[in-house]
Structures are given as C-alpha cells and as structure tokens.
Amino acid sequence: MAHSSPYASLTRTRASRVAGLVALGLAVLLLVLPAFASRGLIQDLFFILTMLTLAQFWNLLAGYGGLVSIGQQAFVGIGAYALFGTVILAGIDPVPALLLSGLAALLLAIPTAYFAFRLQGAYFAISTWVIAEVVRLSVAQWKSVGGGTGTSLPRSATGSMWFTQAIETLFDVRSAAARDILAYWLAVLLAVATIGGLYWLLRTRRGLALAAVRDTMDAARSVGVDAGRMKWLVFLVSAFGTGLTGGLIYLQKARISPDAAFSVTDWTAYVIFIVVIGGIGTIEGPIIGIIVFYALQTLLADYGSWYLMVLGLIGIAVMLFAPRGLWGLFSDRTGIELFPVRRRLTGGLLSHPHHPESKDHG
C-alpha cells in the first residue's frame, strides 16, 4: 500500500535518529562502566536503572493504558518473593530464578485484573492497592520464607551465583562486589530491553490501538479496536516487567521482608512521582523524572521526611501547572521528540510541509 502511494506514514524524525545513536552509545558505556567505576556508583546506577524500569512500566499502564494503579508493589513483592522462594526452597540459582519472578507476577496479574477491571478510575486504583495489601498480608503468613520478619538469601546461593566467579576474576573483586556488578549488568539489559521494547510496541498497530483507546475509548471502539483486550495486554505486560524488576532488586539486596517488598512508598509512590514529574505518556518522561528524583534524593539525603514532602509538593505542582511534566514543557516549546510514536503523513504534495509557499513561487 505504502509503496504504490506517494504518501508514507513515518514516525522517525532527525532527533529520534540522533537519540537512537546516543542511546546506543550510552548503553555500551553503561555496560563497560564496571571496569572503571566505584562500587558505590555501580549501586547508585543500579538503583536508578531499576527505578527507571519500574517507572516505564507504570507509565505504560497509566500514561498509555489509562490504568492508574497504586498497587504495583504487589508485583515487585511477589516477584521478589518468587525469587527467594525458589532459591531457598528449590535450590535453584538466583539468576535463572529471575524468570520465575516475572512469571509469578504475571500469574498474580490475572486474578488482580479480573477483580480490579470491575471498577473504573479511582476505584480501580484503590482496588489494586487492596489486592497488594492482601498479597502482603498473605506472604507474611508464609513461614518458610521468614513470615512477617523476612529472610536473607542463603550464602551458598549468593556465593556461587551464575557468572559471579567470572566477574570476580575479570575485575579482581570480592564476591559481594561481583554480585553488585552482575545485578547492575542485568539492570542495564532490563532497562534497555524495556525502553526498546516499549518503543517498538508503541509503534506497532497495537501501540496505535492503545493510543486510540487512551485518547477516546468510544471512537477507538467504533473503528474496531478491542479496548478490553488492550487493557489486559497492558496490565499483564507491565505486571511481568514489574515482577522481573522486583526480583532483580531483591537479588541485589539479598534480604527481604514483606513490609519492604510490598512498600507502597518505595515501589509505587516514588515511581508515580518520577513519571508525573518527568512527563506522563512519553518514553522520555520517566528518564527526565529519574534524573530529577535522583538529584533531589542526593540533595535532601540528610533531611529525612522533608525529602518525600518536597517530592510530593513538586508532584502536585507539576500536575496542577504542567500536567504533561517537564518533558512535556520542553517538547511543546521545541517540538523535539526523542522517541516519537506519532505517525506523520509525508510524501507527495506534503513533501515540504513547512514551506508550502516555496513550491508555488519557486
């Protein structure tokens, strides 16, 4: 179709090509970083990358799917506990057990969606929270992984984890540092795969359908989009990714408790603020958001609860005065999109869309 017509629908822009190259370079830099960087920097970057991944998945849910969940901690927690459960009870190596983290979250997402999709809007939001509480309270009854007080990954499992021996000899570091590097590399891969995967998804037909459902559900339905199926797709994908990230976060921490793994502040409030401040509904938004978030955390590290207060106030201010976030402000003024998903019609008579008069007087 596109070949026979002088018109074509494109999503790429010059900025997006440059951004693609820069992203590729950045990914390579991040991968070789453990050769030079201190352990503290690696840990900080691990935190940044995993929070960024969680933010991207929440953004997929809320920003693209219109599903505002405040129960994502359910998937972080269940992913983490699936990892600890299989490592402690079945003796499986933690690295392959990460896949079970994603699968466990996916399994949990099915009944969660079944219940929560019965409610709309704000009630959907709180029902996801209730379900997260149910899972937290149930897991706290699971005595073989420490019940309410939690447990640690056994030394035998963390010491002989896949790849750690090789990392120890490669960088000449101790086992704990090698585990950090391994977790960091996995976080880099996960973040790159998440951003790349989301960008791909949003540019496919499904992505277009998703945007249509978000913008006007009725109009989308009238052109044949199955809105209910899109909601399920988005919910399951983001549960899987969130569970996988949860498993990875606790693989690095190596210590778990229900209150920490199912914390609404750590895994949902922070994530919401990252997305909202950066710009909801864009891939760039969470990236900007995580930078602001990390900068604030570093600046206000010594002020305890003031930090969350400031974060909350900024979140409210952004929602009131710049609902599309910092990236939205920037993008509106400059027209730059690094990960454009909008289709623009080009070719034929439109080939010089910005200077139509130059053709006439030419």
Partner 1 sequence: MIWFDTILQGVLLGGLYALFAAGLSLVFGVMRLVNLAHGDFIVAAAYLILLMVTMTGMSPFLAVLIAAPAMFAFGWALQTFMLNRVIGDDVLPPLLVTFGLSVVLQNVLLESFSADSQRLPSGPISTASLNLGGINLGVMPLLTFGSAVVVIIALNQIFYRTALGRAFRATSDDPSTASLMGIRPAGIFAIATGIAFVIVTIAALYLGMRSSFDPNIGPARLIYAFEAVIIGGLGSFWGTLAGGVIIGVAQTLGSAVNPEWQILAGHVAFLLVLLVRPRGLFPRAVD
Query: What's the closest the beta carbon of residue 129 comes to partner 1, in angstroms?
Result: 7
Please report, as ranges, the residues that interact with partner 1 according to CB under 8 A.
Answer: 62, 66, 68, 70, 115, 118-123, 125-127, 129-131, 133-134, 137-138, 140-141, 264-265, 269, 272-273, 276, 280, 304-306, 308-309, 311-313, 315-316, 319-320, 323
Structure-token pair, residue 68: 């505002």
* Smallest distance, partner 1 to C-beta of residue 328, A: 13
User: Smallest gap, in angstroms, from Cβ of residue 247 to partner 1?
Assistant: 24
For the bound state, the minimum distance from the C-beta of residue 132 to partner 1, rounded and expressed in Å, comes to 10
Q: Give the nearest distance from C-beta 269 to partner 1 in angstroms.
A: 6
Type of residue numbered 164: T
Nearer to partner 1, 23 or 139 (CB): 139
Q: Which is nearer to partner 1, 22 or 316 (CB)?
A: 316
| Cβ nearer to partner 1, comparing 70 with 248 | 70
Sign of CA dihedral 23, 65, 328, 50: negative
User: Are the C-beta atoms of residues 186 and 98 closer than 8 Å to each other?
Assistant: yes
User: Using N-to-C axis directions, what is the helix angle for 270-278 and 325-334, rounded to 10°?
Assistant: 10
Q: Which residue's CB is nearer to partner 1, number 21 or number 122?
A: 122
- Smallest distance, partner 1 to C-beta of residue 227, A: 16
Tokens 């540019």 correspond to what residue? 203
Number of Cα atoms under 13 Å in the Cβ half of residue 341: 23
Nearer to partner 1, 141 or 358 (CB): 141
Instruction: Choose between 118 and 229: whose C-beta lies nearer to partner 1.
Output: 118
Q: Output the 3-class SS for 276-292.
A: HHHCCCCCHHHHHHHHH
- Taking the CB of residue 198, how many other CB atoms lie within 10 A of it? 23
Query: Residues 6 or more apart from 324 whose CB is under 8 A from it?
Result: 279, 280, 281, 282, 331, 332
